[in-house]
Structure 1
Amino acid sequence: MVDVRTSAAAEPVGDVTAVLGEGPYWVPEDSCLLWVDIPNGLLHRTQLRSGDTVTVAIGPVSAAFPALGGGLLTAGGNRLRLHKPRAGGAQWTEHTIAELPARDAVRFNDASVDPAGRVWAGTMHTGETEPLGELYRLDPGRVLTPVVKGVTVSNGLGWSPDGSRMYYADSPMRRLDVFDYDPATGEAFQRRVFADLSHVAGVPDGLTVDADGCVWVAMWGGGVLRRFTPGGQQDAVLPLPVSRPTSCAFGGAGLAELFVTTASVDGTDAGRAAEPLAGRLLRVEPGPVGLPSASSWAAIPS
Structure 2
Amino acid sequence: MTNPAVHPHQARPVLEAGCEVGEGPVWDARRGELLFVDIKNPAVWRLDPESGRHARQPVPERIGFVALTDDPDVVVAGFKSGLKRLRLSDGAIEPILSPEPDRPGNRINDGHVGPDGSLYFGTMDDGEAEPSGAFYRYDGSELAVFQEGIVVTNGPAVSADGQSLYATDTKAGTIFRHVLTDGRPGERQRFAHLTPDVGHPDGMAVDAQDHVWVCHWGGGRVTRFAPDGSVERIVEIPAAQVTKCAFGGPDLATLYVTSAAIGRDRAEDPAAGHVFAVDTDGIRGLPAHLLGGAR
Paired with 1:199 and 1:64, the residues of 2 have a C-alpha distance of: 29
Paired with 1:102 and 1:38, the residues of 2 have a C-alpha distance of: 22
1:211–1:288: 8 Å Cα contact kept in structure 2?
no
Alignment of 1:137-176 (within 5 A): 137-141=137-141, 143-176=142-175
Q: Deviations over 1:243-295 (max 9, x none)?
A: 1000000111311110000001536xxx212222110011111325233341x
Q: Is 1:187 aligned with 2:190?
A: no
Q: Is 1:276 aligned with 2:270?
A: yes
Residue 46 of structure 1, CA deviation: 0.5
**Unaligned 5+ runs, structure 2:** none
1:6–1:236: 8 Å Cα contact kept in structure 2?
yes
2:253–2:285: 8 Å Cα contact kept in structure 1?
no
1:207–1:216: 8 Å Cα contact kept in structure 2?
yes
**Corresponding residue for 2:24?**
23
**Corresponding residue for 2:103?**
103
2:157–2:205: 8 Å Cα contact kept in structure 1?
yes
Residue 158 of structure 1, CA deviation: 1.1
Paired with 1:115 and 1:258, the residues of 2 have a C-alpha distance of: 20
Residue 11 of structure 1, CA deviation: 1.1
Paired with 1:282 and 1:131, the residues of 2 have a C-alpha distance of: 32
TM-score, L = length of structure 1: 0.90
1:254–1:289: 8 Å Cα contact kept in structure 2?
no
Q: How many residues align?
A: 289
1:112–1:121: 8 Å Cα contact kept in structure 2?
yes
Alignment of 1:1-302 (within 5 A): 6-60=7-61, 61-70=63-72, 71-85=74-88, 89=89, 91-100=90-99, 101-141=101-141, 143-182=142-181, 185-198=182-195, 200-266=197-263, 271-294=265-288, 296-301=289-294
Identity of aligned residues (%): 32
1:14–1:52: 8 Å Cα contact kept in structure 2?
no
Residue 300 of structure 1, CA deviation: 2.7
Paired with 1:178 and 1:246, the residues of 2 have a C-alpha distance of: 19
The residue identity in structure 2 corresponding to 1:170 is D
The residue identity in structure 2 corresponding to 1:78 is S
2:255–2:279: 8 Å Cα contact kept in structure 1?
yes
Q: For 1:273, what is the secondary structure of its paired residue?
A: coil
Q: For 1:62, what is the secondary structure of its paired residue?
A: strand
CA-based RMSD? 2.0
1:249–1:293: 8 Å Cα contact kept in structure 2?
no
Paired with 2:229 and 2:19, the residues of 1 have a C-alpha distance of: 32
TM-score, L = length of structure 2: 0.92
Measured at CA, do residues 280 and 301 of structure 1 come closer, stay the same or move farther in structure 2, by a change above 3 Å? closer
Q: Deviations over 1:204-235 (max 9, x none)?
A: 00000111111110000011111110011111
Measured at CA, do residues 17 and 146 of structure 1 come closer, stay the same or move farther in structure 2, by a change above 3 Å? same
**Unaligned 5+ runs, structure 1:** none
The residue identity in structure 2 corresponding to 1:122 is G
1:248–1:261: 8 Å Cα contact kept in structure 2?
yes
2:16–2:273: 8 Å Cα contact kept in structure 1?
no
Residue 187 of structure 1, CA deviation: 1.0
Paired with 1:14 and 1:278, the residues of 2 have a C-alpha distance of: 11
Paired with 1:150 and 1:265, the residues of 2 have a C-alpha distance of: 25
Residue 62 of structure 1, CA deviation: 0.9
Measured at CA, do residues 298 and 140 of structure 1 come closer, stay the same or move farther in structure 2, by a change above 3 Å? closer
The residue identity in structure 2 corresponding to 1:229 is A
